Amino acid sequence: MQNAIHWPEGFVPGFTENYVSNEVIVAGLSAADVWPLLVVPAQWPTYYANSANTRFHDHQGPALSDGVRFYFETFGFPVEARCNEFIAPTADQPGRVAWHGWAGEGDTRLDVHHAWLVEDLEGGRVRILTQETQKGKPALELHNAKPNPMINGHQDWLDGLVAAAFKARG
């Protein structure tokens, strides 16, 4: 049985303006290969062109941890974020990292819950699942855009993460 994302109240898929889900299952990598590239935001721009200017608040970092505040830019949005789930992967449990991100005010306000699950599967495979729910008028515009920029952008993030993990392994 594969694990699922934990959704906070107010961000459950189907009850928000936009929801996207992307997943890869890859042989030859482990959660331990992927995790360090995912939880250090300064790494993101090295393998995902749609992220930039990552930084932490309050002299925290360089890795995400529960409750830490950070900032990054993506899809043209300056995103303030707080990590609200952080569980490193082990042999017995998947890695989980998620954040609440927000940008804008009033009609331009966008609120998101972006969650990742990284788990080892039998046969030397890793599963990387990323899902995001979004609320606000910009979320509705993203939902109605064809092709969906969030689906395509998150797939680029996954593909870049996998390539970077293989490269780091040598």
Residues 120/91, Cβ–Cβ less than 8 Å: yes
Tell me the C-alpha distance between 162 and 155, whole Å: 11
Q: How many domains does the chain have?
A: 1
- Does residue 51 belong to any structural domain of this protein? yes
- Does residue 119 belong to any structural domain of this protein? yes
- Does residue 7 belong to any structural domain of this protein? no
pLDDT confidence of residue 75: 84
- Does residue 2 belong to any structural domain of this protein? no
Averaged confidence pLDDT in the chain: 96
Question: Tokens 């997943």 identify what position?
Answer: 23
Residues 77/71, Cβ–Cβ less than 8 Å: no
- Does residue 68 belong to any structural domain of this protein? yes
Q: Which of 117, 162, 154 is nearest to 19 (CA)?
A: 154
- The whole-model pTM stands at 0.96
Q: How confident is the model at residue 167 (pLDDT cuts 50, 70, 90)?
A: very high
Q: If you compute the radius of gyration of the chain from its CA atoms, what whole number of angstroms results?
A: 15
- Does residue 6 belong to any structural domain of this protein? no
Q: Is the pLDDT of residue 170 over 90?
A: no
Tell me the C-alpha distance between 75 and 164, whole Å: 21
Look up the CATH number of the domain holding residue 142: 3.30.530.20
- Does residue 12 belong to any structural domain of this protein? no
pLDDT confidence of residue 144: 96
Domain that holds residue 63: 18-169
SS (H, E, C) 129-143: EEEEEEECHHHHHHH
- Does residue 9 belong to any structural domain of this protein? no
